[in-house]
Amino acid sequence: MRGDLPVVAIAALAASAALAFAFERIPAAARPRTSGGDFLEVAFGGAREAFSSAMVKKADVYFHGGVEAEERHEHGGRGDGCACEDCRGHHRHGEHAGAEAAHDEAEHAAAERRAMGFWSGPYRWIDSRIHTQEHRHLEGTDSIEMIPLLWAAVRADRSNVSAWSEAAYVAAGMMKDYDLALRILAEGIAANPGAAELVCDRGHVYCHRLHDEASAEKEFRRVVEMTEGAVNEKDVRVRIDSMAYLANFAEKRGDADAVRRYAEEALRLAPDYAGTHGLVEMAGKAKKEEAK
């Protein structure tokens, strides 16, 4: 039997080489449909998405000093993130909108537990004092602590647009490192050429952080082009937000017609969106200015 082993091994090698050769000959259209990415993407596609989302959530936990959302809002009844001023800035995409009450309830619950006596529940008393549930945020340069987690999120799933966006926000809005934010956005846009949200974010960085209105206008115009005929809510909102910036630039140039056109389109696309209301208001103001 031992003497047969080389023969078996050579036969197995030959069979696998023949299979590989035959597979090469199969036309691409007839091959199994995979995403065509690297090995990790093929082997762990779903796991990578889950890992990426977990990393974004972990970055949020770091933002709150290591306190989990459910611990922060354990008795708030929602556990869906927090709604204080700083958190609203951090979660600016509106996914946590409407959670103001949860924040107050959580603070109230935490205060209640701090006031709880030892004998009314010794284990809970110990737990609430060992594991902090107070509300705290990373600020300024300390925000860099979120960067590795967001980096891991985008490395795991390069199509996670909100992770790219979040990383750029941390760099620009919190760390005030605008070069880093632009680098992140450039990388994110290269990985997701259709993501208007990231182009819009780059416009924000140029407009609000670098005060480079010419570059910002270019980015917002690109967003408007990219979202032409958009139907999903997210793209429509990004479009309206970009149009609001363009309207603002037009208003500065005294181009009331352009402002009116943007407002009309926004009204047609999403009449109830807050951004639309702002645009309509701006158009009214521009009209009055023109009349004067």
Determine if 16 is a binding residue for another protein (CB under 8 A).
no
Q: What is the DSSP string of 187-216?
A: HHHHH-TT-HHHHHHHHHIIIIIS--HHHH
- The distance of closest approach from Cβ of residue 68 to another protein in the complex, given in angstroms and rounded to an integer, is 9
Determine if 280 is a binding residue for another protein (CB under 8 A).
no
Determine if 198 is a binding residue for another protein (CB under 8 A).
no
Q: Select 177 or 201, whichever has its Cβ closest to another protein.
A: 177
Q: Select 174 or 283, whichever has its Cβ closest to another protein.
A: 174
Determine if 176 is a binding residue for another protein (CB under 8 A).
no
Token representation of residue 248: 């603002």
Determine if 66 is a binding residue for another protein (CB under 8 A).
yes
Determine if 177 is a binding residue for another protein (CB under 8 A).
yes
- Which residues, 6 or more positions from 170, have their beta carbon under 8 angstroms from its beta carbon? 59, 143, 146, 147, 150
Axis-axis angle for helices 161-169, 178-191 (nearest 10):
170
- The distance of closest approach from Cβ of residue 192 to another protein in the complex, given in angstroms and rounded to an integer, is 16
Q: Select 16 or 141, whichever has its Cβ closest to another protein.
A: 141
Token representation of residue 30: 């007839």
Determine if 190 is a binding residue for another protein (CB under 8 A).
no
Cβ atoms within 10 Å, residue 17: 10
Determine if 147 is a binding residue for another protein (CB under 8 A).
yes
Q: Check: CB of residue 74 under 8 Å from CB of residue 133.
A: yes
Determine if 184 is a binding residue for another protein (CB under 8 A).
yes
Determine if 270 is a binding residue for another protein (CB under 8 A).
no
Question: Residues binding another protein: what is the number (CB under 8 A)?
Answer: 31
Determine if 67 is a binding residue for another protein (CB under 8 A).
yes
Identify the burial level of 120 via C-beta atoms within 10 angstroms of its C-beta, where 0-12 means exposed, 13-18 middle and 19 or more buried.
exposed
Q: Select 163 or 259, whichever has its Cβ closest to another protein.
A: 163
Determine if 151 is a binding residue for another protein (CB under 8 A).
yes
Q: Of 5-13, 83-91, 125-133, 199-207, which part binds another protein (CB under 8 A)?
A: 125-133
Among 52, 62, 99, 260, binds another protein (CB under 8 A): 62
Among 41, 45, 53, 65, binds another protein (CB under 8 A): 65
Among 163, 167, 279, 282, binds another protein (CB under 8 A): 167
Report the site for another protein in 71-90 (rule: CB under 8 A).
Answer: none
Determine if 220 is a binding residue for another protein (CB under 8 A).
no
Tokens 């999903």 found at: 232
Q: What is the DSSP string of 74-140?
A: TTTS--S---SHHHHHHTTTSTTTT-HHHHHHHHHHHHHHHH--STT-HHHHHHHHHS--------G
Kindly list the distances between the CA atom of residue 212 and the CA atoms of 164, 180, 183, 217, 250, in Å, as whole numbers in the listed order: 22, 16, 16, 9, 15
Q: What is the DSSP letter of 142?
A: G
Closest to 200 (Cα-Cα) out of 270, 275, 97: 275
Determine if 145 is a binding residue for another protein (CB under 8 A).
yes
Applying CB under 8 A, the residues found at the interface with another protein are 62, 65-67, 118, 122-124, 126-127, 129-132, 141, 144-152, 167, 171, 177, 180, 183-184, 187
